[in-house]
């Protein structure tokens, strides 16, 4: 792989969590995600913000799938073949299902703009929303855990950065199960903490030595 392509791969890993965090921060704050009245009030209070924030989150979720695809390639080049190959389809499936959630919320926005009641729209949405949330959260969490194990095994980072990245990945995955309120910010920040050190390492070392499946010597830092 050329240096330019490798650095584009690194840039995609850095961009995805930034896009997700932007969407989460712009999303109206809702302290109680199970309160349909509170969600409906946030929707009708600023419909433009509601639509744009959910579109940003959907785009960020798609970029996350691309970021983990790039990370899988980097780990493969480092000789990590077992865990990341299992992780990738799970993360892609989880990211795809997660992108359906903001699509559903944009659908609720359309119903309100057509004259429907916001609280009723949220109530009708819930039986579809929760299974997609749970299924996507489980797939994403399993995939991220496999990625975390692959990152630790490949030793592409130093000891302390590896611990930080692995912990942040676990937090990011857990927060996916609560896609509203403070959990949104936790998930977004955790994504930055997890993926930016990896993106930086991928940018610094676009050509990584393959070790035929054996752990590389752990970097000093």
pLDDT digits (tens, 9 = 90+) for 101-141: 999 999 888 888 888 888 888 888 888 988 999 999 999 99
The whole-number pLDDT of residue 182 equals 80
Query: Are 94 and 67 spatial neighbours (Cβ–Cβ below 8 Å)?
Result: no
Tokens 């676990």 sit on residue: 170
* Residue 139 Cα distances to 46, 47, 142, 181, 211, angstroms: 32, 31, 5, 22, 29
Q: How many angstroms separate the CA atoms of 201 and 175, rounded?
A: 25
Average pLDDT over residues 31-45: 81
The whole-number pLDDT of residue 219 equals 54
Does some domain include residue 9? yes
Does some domain include residue 216? no
Does some domain include residue 213? no
The whole-number pLDDT of residue 210 equals 52
| Cα atoms in the 13 Å half-sphere on the side-chain side of 206 | 12
pLDDT, tens digit, 9 for 90 and up, residues 152-192: 998 899 999 999 999 999 999 998 887 677 888 999 999 99
The whole-number pLDDT of residue 126 equals 85
- What does pTM read for this prediction? 0.86
Does some domain include residue 89? yes
Does some domain include residue 100? yes
Q: How many angstroms separate the CA atoms of 130 and 107, rounded?
A: 15
Tokens of 219: 């970097």
The number of folded domains in the chain is 1
Does some domain include residue 92? yes
Average pLDDT over residues 52-63: 94
Which residues form the domain of 135? 3-204
Q: How many angstroms separate the CA atoms of 184 and 74, rounded?
A: 28
The whole-number pLDDT of residue 148 equals 95
């Amino acid at each position: 792989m050329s240096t330019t392509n490798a650095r584009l791969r690194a840039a995609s890993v850095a961009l995805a969590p930034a896009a997700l965090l932007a969407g989460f921060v712009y999303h109206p704050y809702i302290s109680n995600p199970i309160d349909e009245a509170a969600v409906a009030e946030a929707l009708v209070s600023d419909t433009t913000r509601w639509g744009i924030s959910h579109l940003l989150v959907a785009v960020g979720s798609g970029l996350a799938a691309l970021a983990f695809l790039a990370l899988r390639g980097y780990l493969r080049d480092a000789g990590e073949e077992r865990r990341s190959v299992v992780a990738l389809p799970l993360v892609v499936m989880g990211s795809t299902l997660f992108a359906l959630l903001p699509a559903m919320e944009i659908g609720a926005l359309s119903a309100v703009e057509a004259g429907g009641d916001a609280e009723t729209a949220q109530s009708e949405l819930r039986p579809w929303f929760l299974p997609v949330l749970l299924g996507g959260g489980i797939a994403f969490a399993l995939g991220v855990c496999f990625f975390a194990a692959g990152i630790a095994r490949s030793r592409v980072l130093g000891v302390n950065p590896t611990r930080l990245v692995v912990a942040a990945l676990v937090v990011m995955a857990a927060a996916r199960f609560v896609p509203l309120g403070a959990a949104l910010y936790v998930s977004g920040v955790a994504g930055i903490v997890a993926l930016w050190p990896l993106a930086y390492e991928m940018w610094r070392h676009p050509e990584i030595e393959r070790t035929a499946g054996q752990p590389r010597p752990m970097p000093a830092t």
